[in-house]
Chain A
């Protein structure tokens, strides 16, 4: 997953005069069950020795929101079992919480030559 993030980030860097990557922001939905600590560890390991070494990894967790398939109510289940507070149906579709997105790449601003 981190490699995928880096591939995309390097693509952005290539499109901008290959400016070095200083930061990457990703968005992870809670349903993806990804541990931030594992992410940080993997990021540090994979970026070592690359133009992205030393870059900051930021993540935003997206909370779970589901739509009840029986009555259309949007709600946030408190636990792993999704029970509609209005009609008690267990059938629901995630509306938010499945995200796995690269949001932003921060590149070195070479006009100042310094890290912002």
Chain B
């Protein structure tokens, strides 16, 4: 297929899925929009290089999501790789997010989780992956996924619902099975 056709196809894929990819990356990055953008850009570069192959998959967005997770885990293992480069132009000033108590609290709680534990939360609860799929994506055992998930949920509850205060979301009705 002609390169221009592939490029146009890839640009269409980005247009369709980028917003969702950034949302996933923001959760992995503990709410940091700039780190999230770095993760998405890294993953999309990898996807572009492999586009001739992955475009034939049933679900190429899964490839990119997994690439985002891998970039997140890789980055967590090499703190402080500087990506900034000096430029002659100042970046545009960012628009401050509106004040949002719960959102800020959740972002802070997410950021307090270790990177891999945060990834478990995002894969299990945002992307709705099974325990088995999550273990495969993260290269760990299913037991590790279950224990990390349990610890993460407990920690989030602890951070978001101070002792004596009602939790910010309705409690799970009794008898409902969790995954």
State whether these chains interact.
no
Binding site for A on B (CB under 8 A): none
